[in-house]
Structure 1
């Protein structure tokens, strides 16, 4: 494909993502976490959303909804299920309001899976939170070295049990199992995939993708976990040939942080674009205030959307990287 044709293709895809009738809110109900993953970039300084922030989010939804056709909530953290009551409150509010106004509502969640029992899963799916991204760092021995509870205990058995129990239900969820590749576990990833395939391979509700650990500000332990790039490429090629349920990013993928209709709302009401660059002033656009208004710095916002002007795929795929935030 020549440069002109590629730009045209990117432009056509980009146009589909800027509808003012679609709004995505990525919500942090708490920024605390029950895990202490060795490579994590978060500092856990902020806790639960206050009642004031919750009220302002409800106001934002109610004010914007008449102009929308689609509303999406994405639950993030911290660990969002540590504030399950807040997740229920805001999800239930958005779900019911969209139902009353004949709007499309859907939601997803990034969770460590430790607290995702079948009762919670059923309630969430019944309220259109249907897609869950859950990370694994290998089977028990490897996973428990890096994805630990705050008290240092392992987490694999509890997560695996929750996955197993979910598989035995008729709940129409979608689990995306994110297999982290580290320098320490890279030689065992194919074994992990084989076990997932054996256990869940016949269940279309489960899918898998590989993600190499990156140095995103987690300190020396994070840097020491980053695997060799050539090894990752080789593993990805072998994995693509084997995986029965894989999820691959499209060449035209546009990050949520690049899209003009997607915003992060942190637990203290701060508004941003990226769920990773939490310590960057560039990612601190402003605040959600009374009445559901977002007071944001428009000049900062434009920097995140620069890919829509340049049509450079790199700026659309990861604007934080293009902005040199890591």
Structure 2
């Protein structure tokens, strides 16, 4: 039998420890390992507070052996020579390299609806037959070089079903390619739900859809105000985009998972809970594929939607509203949450497609992007679908000092949240990996601080809910001292000062 490793005489409290007291008991949680441990007894509160207040040295002498082993196994105490940030960094880069191939295809930037908050320009740009051939060629080459054994295609727009011919052609081509190469294929689509064919089940099966995202912006009156038909696309004077989307959801739930994105702003917030009640009345929670709820705060998503900073719902109000929506639905209804696996909060082990080594967004403008939110921002492109022949002279000369069209490509390849000034020192790091990388690229400080605020307000709920069912609003938010620990060298530029 192999002898147990010797425990160092001195240990360090993990920089990723958190403790939350509830009803005389304390839940100790480590964000790097995802381990939770309920402490009881007179010393529970003091031990939890000490372990989560600073990265300080602890003697390994005097502990009950079983207690010490649990603290070591859970990552609450670590060897002083163990670099916790380095392990988070290793996990992050492994996730980037191992992520499945995701190809997002923006079939068109055009849309039949005129949502007031839309950040896309609704141009008539669209992908065509030659682009489908080029995309299939790109995918074939990348599968060959990467060795990835799965491909996920996300049909995106604008409204992707304004260009159904492209979907039919490219979907068939990519599925045939995957069959030939022994690669698993599936797809998803983001749609407003107004242009689907009558044979919903046939469309889902033909295109191997495993997920459909449909948005509702409140009940019918508010939804139709926000998602009105554009004049040239209105099918009838009294057409209701709400009625079309609801009828489609009714049909889809027999065939595929539907993520219902509930977009909330100050004007339709009162509809959020009644919308949950409508979903229950229509039986959406008990269907063959029960609907998945995805509350979303209408906010500033793009450089083109700066105006939403003044018109969006504040994050505190949205968190409270989302909690009310969950309560109205009950525990059996699934709410989309990337941070929870098997009902418990877990450290990140996957990255968004923008960071995956072998993923790409094909824009309707024939450009390649890393993030789907950038398809209306040509200066954020990282390449072109088809190289421009050298003999072609640009109509407009490039302005002096303007960045090249693929200036962001190097940034995306090198981005590492553990090396960021603020994120590398943050105790939430293993849970969020710095949040949305697009916000870092654009130096969007306000959005990054919102992400920090989210974890300060919600971490306690995530940790305690599996044990006690505690609601978000019942817990005080964490302070800056919990996010940036004493004893950790905080890099310049953080809002916290080093001890």
Q: TM-score, normalised by structure 1?
A: 0.86
Q: Distance in 1 between matches of 2:419 and 2:352?
A: 15
Quickly say closer, same or farther: Cα 1:130–1:58, change in 2 above 3 A. Answer: same
Q: Distance in 2 between matches of 1:31 and 1:286?
A: 18
CA shift for structure 1 position 282 = 5.7
Partner residue, 1:2: 14
CA shift for structure 1 position 39 = 0.6
Partner residue, 1:158: 244
Structure 2 residue 103 is matched with structure 1 residue 103: no
**Does structure 2 conserve the Cα–Cα contact (< 8 Å) formed by 1:274 and 1:283?**
no
Structure 2 residue 229 is matched with structure 1 residue 145: no
Q: Distance in 1 between matches of 2:257 and 2:111?
A: 23
Q: 1:195 aligns with which of 278, 291, 294?
A: 278
- Count of paired positions: 317
Q: 1:300 aligns with which of 409, 415, 419?
A: 409
Q: How does 1:107-256 map to 2 (within 5 A)?
A: 107-151=187-231, 154-167=240-253, 169=254, 171=255, 173-199=256-282, 200-203=284-287, 204-216=289-301, 217-218=304-305, 220=307, 222-223=308-309, 225-243=311-329, 244-250=333-339, 252=348, 254-256=351-353
Which structure is larger by alpha-carbon Rg, 1 or 2? 2
Please, which runs of 5 or more residues in structure 1 have no aligned partner?
Answer: none
Partner residue, 1:26: 104
Q: Distance in 1 between matches of 2:276 and 2:335?
A: 10
**Does structure 2 conserve the Cα–Cα contact (< 8 Å) formed by 1:53 and 1:267?**
no
How big is the alpha-carbon RMSD for the aligned residues of Structure 1 and Structure 2?
Answer: 2.8
Q: Distance in 2 between matches of 1:224 and 1:164?
A: 35
Once the two structures are overlaid, the 10-residue window that deviates more, 295-304 or 261-270, is: 295-304
Structure 1 ranges of 4+ moved more than 6 A: none
Please, which runs of 5 or more residues in structure 2 have no aligned partner?
Answer: 1-12, 17-30, 33-84, 340-346, 388-403, 424-428, 445-499
**Does structure 2 conserve the Cα–Cα contact (< 8 Å) formed by 1:118 and 1:162?**
no
Q: Distance in 2 between matches of 1:18 and 1:157?
A: 43
Structure 2 residue 401 is matched with structure 1 residue 318: no
Residues 17-66 of structure 1 deviation map (CA, whole Å, 9 limit, x = unaligned): 4228x321111111111111011000022422133222111111222333
Q: Which is richer in helix?
A: 1
Partner SS, residue 131 of structure 1: strand
Q: How does 1:257-268 map to 2 (within 5 A)?
A: 257-268=354-365
Structure 2 residue 135 is matched with structure 1 residue 57: yes
Quickly say closer, same or farther: Cα 1:71–1:259, change in 2 above 3 A. Answer: same
Partner residue, 1:285: 382
Partner residue, 1:48: 126
Quickly say closer, same or farther: Cα 1:15–1:298, change in 2 above 3 A. Answer: farther
